[in-house]
Amino acid sequence: MTIRILLVDDHKIFRDALKSILDMEHDISTVGEADNGVEAIRIAKESQPDIVLLDIEMPSMSGVEAARNLITEFPPVKVIALSANTDRNVLTQMLDAGARGYVVKTSGRDELLRAIRAVAYGRTYLCPDASAVLVDSLRGRKSGEQLRGELLGKREQEVLKRLSEGQTSPQIGEALHIATSTVEVHRRNIMRKLELHSVAELTKYAIRNGLTSA
């Protein structure tokens, strides 16, 4: 399997550096470049990438908006956010928009490649700096606050974990030896109990509360 990558960043020097790193990998191919979100959507339509490496701070369209539009128009595409920013609000906005990965630009080559391969195979990947932000946010909650995850039964927690790792309902049903329709019932119950409304929100919740290793 060759992982097809679209690079989106408004700094050409940074794109060139990324491309030189990625082109050395036997299982990764750069299929396009863009310097803003509008151009990224146009090029994604032409090149059909598997993953978009997306800068957050760009002219014309923010990375958050670009991620949301890319995922809406091309559902199979997975987005990995690249940013110098580890602000909690920015991180959660990207996850809400549907990003499957978050890597800060100070990360090394190996970290980026781990993120690409993890996301390509259906996992969610946060670099250590991004994970630390979410952990610190979780620790900062009021001590008396009850985890909503405690409302979930064991089977619901198993389904949530697999959903957050990118598995489809049929895949979850096969893994847990239950019908796809049963998985869908669990999924609806999980969303109702947690008051969440999308897989992106479930993924963010699972990561924040240690319900997944993704």
Is residue 49 within 8 Å of residue 5, measured between CB atoms? yes
pTM: 0.66
Indicate the SS3 state at residue 79. Answer: strand
Q: Helix 88-97 and helix 199-208: axis angle, to 10°? A: 140
Q: Please give the Cα distance from 36 to 59 (Å, whole number).
A: 6
User: 210 or 118: which carries more pLDDT confidence?
Assistant: 118
Q: Give the pair of three-digit tokens for residue 120.
A: 């390509």
Contact 79, 41 (CB under 8 A): no
1-34: pLDDT as tens digits: 899 999 999 999 999 999 999 999 999 999 999 9
For residue 44, the number of C-alpha atoms closer than 13 Å in the C-beta half-sphere is 28
CB-neighbour burial class of residue 107 (10 A; exposed 0-12, middle 13-18, buried 19+): middle
Strands 51-55 and 78-83: parallel
- What is the C-alpha to C-alpha distance for residues 210 and 65, in angstroms, rounded to an integer? 27
Of 25, 103, 40, 113, residue with least CA distance to 70: 40
CA–CA gap between residue 186 and residue 152 (Å, rounded) = 10
Taken in order of first residue, the domains within the chain and their CATH numbers are 3-138 (3.40.50.2300), 142-208 (1.10.10.10)
Give per-residue pLDDT as tens, 51-80.
999 998 887 788 889 999 999 999 899 999
Nearest residue to 29 (alpha-carbon basis) of 56, 4, 9: 4
Q: Could you give the dihedral angle defined by the CA atoms of residues 39, 41, 43 and 47, in that order, rounded to the nearest 10 degrees?
A: 160
pLDDT band at 142; cut points 50, 70, 90: very low
Of 194, 187, 152, nearest to 172 by C-alpha is: 187
What distance in Å separates the CA atoms of residue 5 and residue 79, rounded to the nearest whole number?
10
